[in-house]
Amino acid sequence: MALFKYLLSLEEKNRYSFYLAVFRIFVCFHLIKTILFQWAYLDILYGANSFVSPVPTFITELLGIPTHFLREHYQWFITAYLLIIVLYLFGIGKHFTALLLFLCYETLQRMCNLVLNGGDNLMKFIMLYMIFADSYQYFSIRAWQFKNQTLRRLSNLGSNLCVRAITLHFCMIYFWSAWHKIHAEVWFNGVATYYTFSIGRFKGTPWNDFLARNGVFVTISTYFTLVVEVYFPVLVWFKKTRLAVVCCGIALHLGIYVFMMIYGFEIIFIMTYGFFFKDEEWQAFLNKLISRINRKARWKLPTFAEFHPEPQVYAGR
């Protein structure tokens, strides 16, 4: 009964419409950035001369497309992929475009899985969940809602369940990461940072060697990582501790970004934190920030309510 009431409450309103739209924009720019960074090496990574054996995907198996066909015509595939990203960026095609983008992203990953990291795996699942979410109320060419009350409630339910799936998935990542760390001697004994900072691949700053020799820093940073990963999946669900634990998580990932040169992975994780806050919380934060800017700026910025587009009604049946 309690679960049924909870699901009914999720049908009343899309509680995360703003950040779903923000993350949709982030996904598009992130995917475009990845392709641009790989541009000079596309033939080696995805072409017929690639050194990686591709893994069959759902879409290629379903349509009966040989993998070598995609490799021989990878330019057309990348062009179509970029076009779908642009359509998704402007909210054109909505759920259908989100499905196409997920299938293309999954296919591209399996064509060369050696360039992937944990952030790419998380991104894939988030894109899967967002197929069922209405992320088009903001930053779209045209925002609309279903006229039919049942379809509108189902849309709200899908959007809220999408965000809940993302947040639960995110917490599971932290939980399993912490589980494996606490069973590793270097983490349990508080010296993991020393070994990480001593590896040449992860020397992001000239101070890494100095910090690796500092016992206080090594101990604090190692156990800080453990504490964040152990307690985040619990404390993030309580309003009083949510902001504090999210700030600790952001500090952790920014530190990894700067000192260990792990970039895309950390940005994806930091952006995912936004799903733990509802529209009302984002509205209050943005309006407070805008009001402070308007006090000092010559040009006044609109508040959250002013730039929220009025959705058009779609007469779906």
In angstroms, rounded to a whole number, what is the distance separating the alpha carbons of residues 300 and 306? 12
Inter-helix orientation angle 239-260/215-235, to 10°? 140
Instruction: Give percent of the chain above pLDDT 90.
Output: 50
Residue 241's Cβ-count burial label (10 Å; 0-12, 13-18, 19+) is middle
The yes-or-no verdict on residue 113 having pLDDT over 90 is no
Q: What is the pLDDT of residues 280-294, one digit of tens each?
A: 999 888 888 888 888
Across all residues in the chain, what is the average pLDDT? 87
Segments making up each domain of the chain, as ranges: 15-144
The yes-or-no verdict on residue 312 having pLDDT over 60 is no
Among the residues of 112-214, which ranges form H helices?
118-130, 149-182, 185-188, 192-197, 208-212
| Total-model pTM | 0.88
**Residue 13 has what DSSP assignment?**
-
Residue 238's Cβ-count burial label (10 Å; 0-12, 13-18, 19+) is exposed
Q: What is the reported pLDDT for 229?
A: 95
**Greater pLDDT, 186 or 303:** 186
| Nearest Cα residue to 248 out of 228, 220, 233 | 228
Lowest mean pLDDT among 42-56, 127-141, 216-230, 279-293: 42-56
Give the list of residues 6+ apart from residue 152 with CB closer than 8 angstroms, or none. 145, 146
Token pair listed for 113: 């899985």
Distances (CA, A) of 185 to 214, 226, 260, 313: 19, 13, 21, 58
- Mean local confidence (pLDDT), 107-120: 85
Q: What is the reported pLDDT for 48?
A: 80
Q: What is the pLDDT of residues 42-97, one digit of tens each?
A: 888 888 877 777 666 666 666 667 777 778 888 999 999 999 999 999 999 999 99
Number of H helices, E strands in the chain: 17, 2
Q: Are 175 and 55 in contact (CB under 8 A)?
A: no
